[in-house]
Structure formats: structure tokens, C-alpha cells
Amino acid sequence: MFDLKGKVALVTGGSRGIGKAIALTLGQLGANIVINYSRNMDAAQKVAREIEKTGVKAAVFQGDVADPDQAKELVNRAVEKFGTVHILVNNAGITRDTLIMRMKDSDWQEVIDTNLSGVFNCTRAVTRIMMKQKWGRIINMSSVVGITGNAGQVNYCASKAGVIGLTKAAARELGSRGITVNAVAPGFIETDMTDVLPAEIRESMLGSIPVGRAGKPEDVAAAVAFLCSDAAAYITGQTINVDGGMVM
């Protein structure tokens, strides 16, 4: 049911955190993996080596998904390497947190360009490929704050809310071609981004989670794996919260 043998999965921002966990999980299920990274080549190559220990193939390609040309080239290189792309996980994302009155134009634009335009750029680049093969899975990483909002993150919240709207529209366009498009909205997940939060904020957030703990990247990866599988063939245009009940 969760067998991805023969599939090719492209994971943007796949060198660390949630993206790394997704790449490893999809590789363990049999997919060949293309890991996209922006800066840390060593980390991406380390993930690739770990994936290849499971018996599948992995490739590492640098590229800034905020740049339409680089996003297109990333997909082209994946096709040159493996022949096609069956699965796209739009995971690459950044934060530039500050209060709205202090937020610089660049803080706003950089987050929108990577977190929202990056999803559009990569999705547009794979659509013809997936339409031709009449099968595809596109999973876009949103966030619970794209649903609830969060002080000090107007740029991030706007980008992640936009991802949900993009997901719904793309699902309507592509559903008849055998392509599903869904979003995953993580809650408080233990990553490099959350490790830097002050202790009082961490405790406050943990207190709002019914299951009583922070999530792990593997929790998110499991949801993504399900949406990539044939078991989720009748699910599209949805946002799956992986948040321990934080948002209901």
C-alpha cells in the first residue's frame, strides 16, 4: 500500500529538518530521491548517502526555488537523471520573523518568494511531465500558522496561507489528469527553526498541544508518505494538519 518502488521523488529543501525526514522516508519506501538544497551541499550529500544505503538511488542538485529559471532547471536535471518526476514535495522555506511595524520590505519579499512563489515555480515546472504520464503527487508544505496566524510572522503566515489556496486551485486543475495536490500543515515540530525559540515560548506552545509533546520531523514525513501512496489516490485539495491537535 505504501510501496513507492519505481517512483522518483523531488524534495525541495531536503538537506535538513522536515525535508530530510521526508527524503529518507520516501527512500525507505523504495523511491529514488532528488534532494534539492540552497546552500549546504555537505548536508545534502550526507542525506543522499544515507538514502542510498537503503538500496535506492539519490541525486543532489542545488537551486533557489524562488527563481523560476532555477526551479525549471532543477526539474529538468531530475528528469535527465531519472527519466521523470512522479512526486514533488515543495518543502523549501525560510523565516524572517519580526513585528509588522519593524518588518523590512526585504523580510516580506524574501519569505513570499521562497515559501509561496517557490511552490508555484516548482509545481508549474512538473505539471507537463505529470500530465503526460497521467500520474503525479504534489505535496506542499504549509503550516498551522497559515490557518491561525501568529504574531511576528505576518510574512510567513501569509506565505503559508497562500500555499493552501494554491493547493486547492492546482488540485482542481490537475485532478482529471491523475495528479493529486495536497498540503501538509505542521504544528510545533522539533527542528533547527524551533530550537532557537526562547524557553518560555516553547513551554507556552507545548501547553497548547493536546497530545502533550512537540512533533518530530518523522511525524510529518509519515503524512507525506501516505499522500504520495496509492492509498491516498482519492484525496486531493486537502490540508492535513500534523500538529498533535494544536489546531482543531
- Can you give the three-state secondary structure of the chain, one letter per residue? CCCCCCCEEEECCCCCHHHHHHHHHHHHCCCEEEEEECCCHHHHHHHHHHHHCCCCCEEEEECCCCCHHHHHHHHHHHHHHHCCCCEEEECCCCCCCCCHHHCCHHHHHHHHHHHHHHHHHHHHHHHHHHHHHCCEEEEEECCCHHHHCCCCCHHHHHHHHHHHHHHHHHHHHHHHHCEEEEEEEECCECCHHHHCCCHHHHHHHHHCCCCCCCECHHHHHHHHHHHHCHHHCCCCCCEEEECCCCCC
pLDDT at 1: 62
Above 80 in pLDDT, residue 226? yes
> Dihedral (C-alpha) 78, 83, 89, 95: value to the nearest 10 degrees?
10
CB atoms within 10 A of CB 53: 10
In b/e form, how buried is each residue of 90-115, taking b as 16+ CB within 10 angstroms? bbbbbbbeeeeeebeeebbebbbbbb
Distance CA 181, CA 170 (A): 7
**Sign of the Cα pseudo-torsion (219, 224, 225, 229, in order):** positive
Per annotation, catalytic residue among 56, 156, 161, 240: 156
- Is residue 156 annotated as a catalytic residue, yes or no? yes
Q: How confident is the model at residue 205 (pLDDT cuts 50, 70, 90)?
A: confident
CB 175 within 8 A of CB 127: no
pLDDT at 192: 74
CA 75 to chain centre: 15
pLDDT digits (tens, 9 = 90+) for 160-196: 999 999 999 999 999 999 999 999 999 999 987 677 6
pTM: 0.96
Task: Round the average pLDDT of the chain to a whole number and report it.
Answer: 96
30 vs 2, higher pLDDT: 30
Q: How confident is the model at residue 87 (pLDDT cuts 50, 70, 90)?
A: very high
* Mean pLDDT value across residues 48-65: 98
Burial of 218 (0-12, 13-18, 19+ CB in 10 A): middle
